[in-house]
Amino acid sequence: MLVILIGILIGIIIGYIFPYTYNPQYSLYISVSILACLDSIFGGTRAIMEDKFDTVVFLSGFFLNALLAAFLAFLGEKLGVPLYYAAIVTFGGRLFDNFAKIRRIIVQNLRNNNSKNME
């Protein structure tokens, strides 16, 4: 958990210092990709907590999901149907799913600690 918070902090700092910005033309693709990446991060955190973390699965999911989301946005633009909604719904839903599981694990850990202290 701590690792992720540190990573996020470092990223924010570098991002603010970094003098360049994206071409706004691609802002939709990047937004959708960010959502996919965020989902992977949450999934990875959960996997670490459940001791099921697999680096290859995590890495491939991180990049391929982002690419797929961006591709859906691109394809949707070509077809005139906002296909990136699919990415938003899926990854958004999974984000909450993963978050709920992380929450439960943390709550469970806290309770276990408490009960140990009580004894």
Partner 1 sequence: MNKIIKKTTLLLLAGFVSFSTVMQIKSKPEKYTHVTFETIKNAVNELGAIKQENQALLDMENLNKARLEQLIEASKKGSDNLIKNYKAEIEERKIELGYYDVKGPGIIIKMYDNDIIRPDWYDVNFDVVHDGDIQIIINDLRLAGAEAISVNDERLTSKSGIQCGGPTIWVNDVAMATPFYIKAIGDPNKLYASVTAPNTYGDSLKEIVGLEASVVDEITIKAYSGDRNFKYAKPIKEDS
> Which lies closer to partner 1 via its Cβ, residue 59 or residue 114?
59
* Cα Rg of the chain (Å, integer): 18
> Which lies closer to partner 1 via its Cβ, residue 16 or residue 117?
16
The answer to whether residue 55 forms part of the interface with partner 1 (CB under 8 A) is yes
- Binding part of the chain for partner 1, among 5-13, 92-100, 101-109, 110-118 by CB under 8 A, reads 5-13
The answer to whether residue 10 forms part of the interface with partner 1 (CB under 8 A) is yes
Phi and psi at 22, nearest 5°, equal -70, 160
Category of 51 on φ-ψ map: left (φ > 0), alpha (ψ -120 to 50) or beta: left
DSSP-derived letter for residue 81 is S
- Binding part of the chain for partner 1, among 20-28, 87-95, 100-108, 111-119 by CB under 8 A, reads 20-28
The answer to whether residue 98 forms part of the interface with partner 1 (CB under 8 A) is no
Choosing from 50, 59, 107, 111, the residue that interacts with partner 1 (CB under 8 A) is 59
CB atoms within 10 A of CB 70: 21
Helical residues (DSSP H) of 1-119, grouped into ranges: 2-17, 27-49, 55-79, 84-118
Distance in Å from the first CA to the final CA of the chain: 28
Site of interaction with partner 1 (CB under 8 A):
3-12, 14-16, 18, 20-22, 24-25, 27-28, 30-31, 33-34, 37-38, 40-41, 44-45, 48, 53, 55, 58-59, 62, 77
